[in-house]
Amino acid sequence: MTRLRGALAATLGYLWSGWGAVTSVLMFCALWEYGARIHGDLVLPGPVATLRRLAEMFDSGLAVPELAISARRTLYGLGLALAAGSTLGLLAGRSLTTAMVSRPLVTLLLGMPPIAWLVLAMLWFGMGDATPVFTVLVACFPIVFAGAMQGARTLDNRLRNVARAYRLPWHMLLTDLYLPHVASYLFPSWITALGTSWKVVVMAELLTTADGVGAALAVSRSQLDTATSLGWIVAVLGLLLGVEYLLLEPLKRRVERWRSGPAA
């Protein structure tokens, strides 16, 4: 019964905390509508007109296939970046020498513009799926790697020594000491990589592929169809927010539940 009450309180607390995000979105929509009234629908369609156009795109069957293609490419590139960046970053964080050697390389990778990687990927892989997937991988990898390495480097040695002195089993060390600490660094880097991955995929599709959201944006741009262009942008942002607040954020809160103290 106590666990049920704790889970219910956590769920209600999470839902209540979402009001801040909803408020910020509504404020953005209000500014958007204000700009639309000034410039007109040809230059900047308002939120209602954009959502109406997006609904028409879904009803006609145009939106779902293109979004699915972009989501697949994003998932492949982001999944590889999360797996490789998290694993290698944690391993690098265990050694001071490795961390010092890898830090300038991470800085160089972070400073490399994604468009430069995209040009190289076009030369190496051509105009297929490999180009956007590779570009997402190299753009997101250093973000995740840096977060994982920092999490491993900042682990409190005193807590680790206390745990070893009490001879805690390895599974308790993993779930109660290592994982909560590392997760507080990993999840922000994952969320940042998630946003970066969608931006990179749409940019890559705009320049290199004949399908996906980026290619659809290129078509709407050539037709001077601002409402359709904004509709694609809203669809991508909706998917991005959905993954963050319905998947990553609840998982982050569950892993970091120790921050709120022991349940009553």
Q: What is the pLDDT of residues 82-112, one digit of tens each?
A: 999 999 998 888 888 888 888 888 888 888 8
> What CA–CA distance (Å, rounded) separates 202 from 142?
20
pLDDT of residue 87: 92
What pLDDT score does 263 carry?
Answer: 43
What's the pLDDT at 174? 63
**Mean pLDDT, residues 4-9 taken together:** 58
**Residue 108 to residues 131, 139, 149, 220, Cα–Cα distance (Å):** 21, 11, 16, 35
Q: Look at residue 14 and tell me whether its pLDDT is greater than 70.
A: no
Buried/exposed 23-46: b ≥16 CB within 10 Å, e otherwise: eeeeeeeeebeeebeeeeeeebbb
- Average the pLDDT over 220-248 and give the result: 88
- pTM, two decimals, is 0.81
Q: What whole-number distance in Å separates Cα of residue 175 and Cα of residue 182?
A: 11
In this predicted model, what pLDDT tens digit does every residue of 18-75 receive, in sequence order?
A: 666 678 888 988 999 999 889 888 888 999 999 999 999 999 999 999 999 999 999 9
pLDDT of residue 18: 62
Looking at residue 75, its amino acid is L
What is the mean pLDDT of the segment spanning 205-222? 91
Residue 167, exposed/middle/buried by CB under 10 A (0-12, 13-18, 19+)? Answer: exposed
Band (pLDDT 50/70/90 cuts) for residue 159 is: low
How far is residue 194's CA from residue 155's CA, in Å, rounded to a whole number? 25
Mean pLDDT of 7-25: 64
The pair of structure tokens assigned to 96 is 């001071």
Q: Tell me the mean pLDDT in the region 217-243.
A: 90
pLDDT score at 179: 77
Amino acid 219: pLDDT: 92
Asked if residue 251 has pLDDT above 70, the reply is yes
pLDDT at 264 over 50: no
Phi/psi at 258 (nearest 5 deg)? -65, -20
User: How open is the CA angle 40-43-46, to the nearest 5 degrees?
Assistant: 60
| Dihedral angle sign, alpha carbons of residues 190, 193, 194, 197 | negative
CB 112 within 8 A of CB 189: no
Please say whether the beta carbons of 149 and 102 come within 8 A.
yes
Helices (H), the chain: 2-39, 47-59, 63-93, 96-111, 114-125, 130-153, 157-165, 170-173, 179-208, 213-222, 226-243, 249-255
Which amino acid is it at 213?
A: V
Would you state the pLDDT for residue 173?
Answer: 64
Rounded to an integer, what distance in angstroms lies between the CA atom of residue 39 and that of residue 48? 15
Structure-token pair, residue 102: 């890898």
Please compute the mean of the pLDDT values over residues 76-83 and round it to a whole number: 95
**Mean pLDDT over each residue of the chain, to the nearest integer:** 83
Q: What is the largest CA-CA distance in the chain?
A: 70
Q: Is 217 exposed, middle or buried (0-12, 13-18, 19+ CB in 10 A)?
A: buried
Task: Check pLDDT > 50 for residue 203.
Answer: yes
Closest CA to 150 of 94, 101, 84, 190: 94
Number of residues written out for the chain: 264
Q: What is the pLDDT of residue 1?
A: 56
